[in-house]
């Protein structure tokens, strides 16, 4: 059971107020789609969830844990990037098992394949 809560999220890029007082609750197993025209803040919200953007105010909670300022490495969020972000200097296998290697599960997975 995982719940994600976004409370009063504000994101500013310099003087530009990109995301203003956003509140969102995502329940367990729910699929949420953010729709909107270019530049309305969808990517900013996603990136703040993943930890790549510091909100200027507001909170992001996973269950009851406030992860607003947690570094991206430590968050349990998997992000798929808009442009795939495939590493061109690594083989396909290396791309796939990158995260697994960090968790030292790589060998086990490779054996399966």
Partner 1 sequence: MTEQKLTTETVVTRAKPTFLKRIWFTFKSDRLSWSIIIFITAFFGYFLIAPLASILVTAVYVKGEFAFDTIGAIFSNPLFFNPSGGEESYFIRLDHRQDVDVYMIRGANLGIFLNTLLIGVFTTFLSLVIGVTTALIMARIEIRGKTILGGLLLIPLVLPPFVSGVGFMALFGDKGLINEHFLAPVFGIKIILEGIVAIIFVQVMHYFTLIYLNVYSSLMNNDPSLEESAENLGASKLRVLRTVTLPLAMPGIASGSILVFILAMEDLGTPIIFAGFGDVVAKQTITYYIAKHIFAGSETSDLAQESIILGSFLLIFAIVGFFAIRKFVSLKQYSMVSKGRAGEYRTIKPGIMLQIGLAIYFFVLLVTALVPHIGVIIASMAEPQVFPLDLSFENYRYLFDADKGFGLFVKNTLIYSLISTAVIMVLATLAGYVANRKKFKGQTAFDTLVTIPIAIPGIVLGIGYIRMFGDSGSLTIGGTVFREWTLNPIIFPGLILVISYTIRKFPFTVRAVYAGLQQTDVVMEEAAVNMGASRIRIIAEVVIPLIGLNIIGGALVSLVYNMSEVSTTLVLISSSKYGTLTWKMSEASGKVGELAAIGVFLMVLQAISLLTTNLLLKNRADAITGI
Partner 2 sequence: MKLKHLTGMLFLLLLIPSLNMQVAVAEEKEDLIPVTNATKLAIVTRHDSAITNLFIAEFVKSEYAAKVGITSNDEVDILPITTYDGFSKAMSNPLFDVSLGWGGGPTLFNNLAAEGSIKPITNTTLLGIINGVLPDLIAGAEMKSYNDNDEMMWASSAISSFGFTVNHNELEARGLPVPSTWEDLASPDFFTSVSQANIGMGNAPDTTSNTRIYQIILQKYGWERGWQILYNMAGNGKIYGGSIETRTSVVTGETAVAITIDFYGLIAMTENPATEYIVPANGSIVNGDPISYSKAPPHEDAANAFIEFIYSQDGQALWLDPSINRMPIRQDAFSAPFALKRSDIDVIYGIYNETLLNEGIEFDEDLALSLEETMRYHFEATIDIPHTALKATWGDIMNAYKGGGFSDDRFDQINAVFGQPAITQEYAIEIEERMVDDPAFRVTKQGEWTETVTANFVRAEEMISEDETVISVSGTETLTSLVSASSVAPTTTDIPLNAFSVFVGMIASVMIIQLIRRKNRR
Positions touching partner 1 (CB under 8 A) are 43, 50-52, 71-74, 77-79, 81-90, 98-99, 102-103
Distance in angstroms (rounded) separating the CA atoms of residues 19 and 57: 10
Beta strands in the chain (DSSP E): 4-13, 16-26, 57-62, 65-66
- Contacting partner 2 within 60-89 (CB under 8 A): 89
Kindly tell me which of 90 and 102 has the beta carbon lying closer to partner 2: 90
Cβ closer to partner 1: 61 or 79? Answer: 79
Name which of 33 and 83 has its Cβ closer to partner 1.
83
Confirm or reject binding of residue 110 to partner 2 (CB under 8 A). Answer: no
Instruction: Kindly tell me which residue out of 2, 34, 40, 90 binds partner 2, with binding defined by CB under 8 A.
Output: 90
- Cβ-count burial 46-70 (b if 16+ within 10 Å, e if not): bebbebebebeebebebeeeebbee
Q: Which is nearer to partner 2, 89 or 108 (CB)?
A: 89
Candidate list 87, 94, 99, 110; residue touching partner 2; CB under 8 A: 94
Bridge-based pairing state of the strands 57-62 and 65-66 = antiparallel
Q: Kindly report the CA angle at 101 between 97 and 102, in degrees rounded to 5?
A: 125
Point out which residues bind partner 2 (CB under 8 A): 89-91, 94
């Amino acid at each position: 059971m995982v719940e994600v809560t976004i409370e009063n999220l504000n994101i500013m890029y310099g003087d530009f107020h990109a995301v203003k007082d956003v509140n969102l609750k995502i329940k367990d197993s729910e699929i949420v789609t953010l729709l909107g025209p270019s530049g309305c803040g969808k990517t900013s919200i996603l990136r703040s969830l993943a930890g790549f953007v510091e909100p200027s105010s507001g909170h992001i909670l996973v269950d009851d844990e406030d992860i607003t300022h947690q570094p991206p490495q430590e968050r349990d969020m998997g992000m798929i990037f808009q442009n795939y972000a495939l590493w061109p200097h690594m083989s396909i296998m290396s791309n796939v098992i990158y995260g697994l290697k960090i968790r030292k599960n790589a060998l086990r997975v490779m054996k399966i394949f």
